[in-house]
Structure 1
């Protein structure tokens, strides 16, 4: 009689085999187990990528999800992070090629899920900038641990907002939005709600440098290289108000 582990592996391989494989079920009621497994994992992906699901429709998403599950099943028991490879996989799929913004929308939703489940951290006092005085350019600013950046040639944040339940946002003019240049979005959850903050190119360069551990003076130079009129005090004041930072240090 096969060992229990061998039977479990045979059932797993049969569940994940493509439908056209035509293999016989290894155990009685295996079809029910397959349907429950694929349906449950597809529901997990649907919860993580609700906008993608809305954009392609329920039936198409169910097919995409089950194909992805067979391609990349979960590798660990907690499913909060499952689907991390879905955006890249989706971008290479035929549906992703027909809707070229779909993979980037999925990246935004994956970043949202990361921010939502990230660790807590106390925000920096909004008066921190003024308190630094002459040492401001040497200061090192830590971003909140929930932060994620998403850059796309598509207006992914506008697409995301327009496809929320009961959204009052108007339809997105993709051509006009793309003509305005790449969108840079910061996602962060300093409190209960995940914030989506559209960044200017200068602010994006500033925060990318700060996230890499560079001092504020260097990050400021990076921002000025993209925007000679970049207003550091104005940008930092807004970011502090949004509670984007969790620490400020001096060398």
Structure 2
């Protein structure tokens, strides 16, 4: 008799590979092996996971169409089983898979559109936190501002693309109207956040991704500014700080070498 773990592995493998035989021990009501019943179950699993990807990546589906998306999703599903009982966790590797899927190479921006969609899903399911406003900072002495550290909302995600991926995503969701896009016009940076009930996706300028990443890692404002300025000498510290706070992306602050507080 096979060990249970081995039976489970063979069952999981056979679910996604029609070339494999029906796992040993699976029988119908008559006590005989039931390949037909297992084939139905196998198909339901693949169809269910494909639908999960379609729901999570509506813009990608809209761009490539149902037939292409079905082939793309099935190719992904057979190589990546869910690792969590919660299906909203499934598909984290789909954007990278798209980037390596040869038939999708004619749409070089598609993986980045998928990254925006994945960031949207992660932001939607991120932990709750209460944003703070500009009034929380009014009593801070100007000479202490460079040492401020900011605690960002748990939902904040950044997607950088060398293509206008944000524009393309916007054209293909929420009633957007697809239109011509100049892929040579330059890339776009997107920030995704859910400060309240709704997920918001907006464009941010060059230098902002470096600035936000530095803040998220606990770097003080001055150090984060230096990283942003190295990426883009035109980076506007005051405008970017104000935008972060007004957009509800900051939930706490402190000072370098001091505990966070508000």
TM-score normalized by the length of structure 1:
0.88
Residues in 2 aligned to 1:249 and 1:94: alpha-carbon distance in whole angstroms: 47
Residues in 2 aligned to 1:249 and 1:83: alpha-carbon distance in whole angstroms: 36
Alignment match of 1:86 (pick from 85, 90, 94): 94
Cα deviation per residue 1:5-41 (whole Å; 9 max; x = unaligned)? 6655443222211x4x3x4434421111011111111
Spell out the pairing of 1:90-105 with structure 2 (5 A cutoff).
90-105=98-113
Alignment match of 2:136 (pick from 121, 125, 128): 128
* Structure with the larger helix share: 1
Q: Offset of 1:133 from its aligned partner?
A: 2.4
Identify the range of structure 1 (208-217 vs 227-236) with the bigger mean alpha-carbon deviation: 227-236
Q: Is the 8 A contact 2:168 2:181 kept in 1?
A: no
Q: Offset of 1:226 from its aligned partner?
A: 4.1
Residues in 2 aligned to 1:12 and 1:207: alpha-carbon distance in whole angstroms: 41
Spell out the pairing of 1:21-36 with structure 2 (5 A cutoff).
21=19, 23-26=20-23, 27=26, 28=34, 29-36=37-44
Cα deviation per residue 1:151-176 (whole Å; 9 max; x = unaligned)? 110111111110014225x624233x
Q: Is the 8 A contact 2:131 2:153 kept in 1?
A: yes
Alignment match of 1:150 (pick from 153, 159, 164): 159
For 2:60, the equivalent position in structure 1 comes to 52
Q: What 5-or-longer segments of structure 2 have no aligned partner?
A: 27-33
Task: Name which one, 1 or 2, has greater alpha-carbon Rg.
Answer: 2
Q: Offset of 1:53 from its aligned partner?
A: 1.0
Q: Is the 8 A contact 1:162 1:172 kept in 2?
A: no
Cα deviation per residue 1:137-161 (whole Å; 9 max; x = unaligned)? 1110111111111111011111111
Matched, 1:213 2:218: yes
Residues 40, 165 of structure 1: alpha-carbon distance in 2 compared, 3 angstrom cutoff:
same
Residues in 1 aligned to 2:223 and 2:72: alpha-carbon distance in whole angstroms: 44
Residues 9, 202 of structure 1: alpha-carbon distance in 2 compared, 3 angstrom cutoff:
closer
For 1:224, the equivalent position in structure 2 comes to 229
Residues in 2 aligned to 1:15 and 1:209: alpha-carbon distance in whole angstroms: 44
Residues in 1 aligned to 2:239 and 2:5: alpha-carbon distance in whole angstroms: 61
For 2:201, the equivalent position in structure 1 comes to 196
For 1:37, the equivalent position in structure 2 comes to 45
Name the Cα RMSD after superposition.
Answer: 2.1
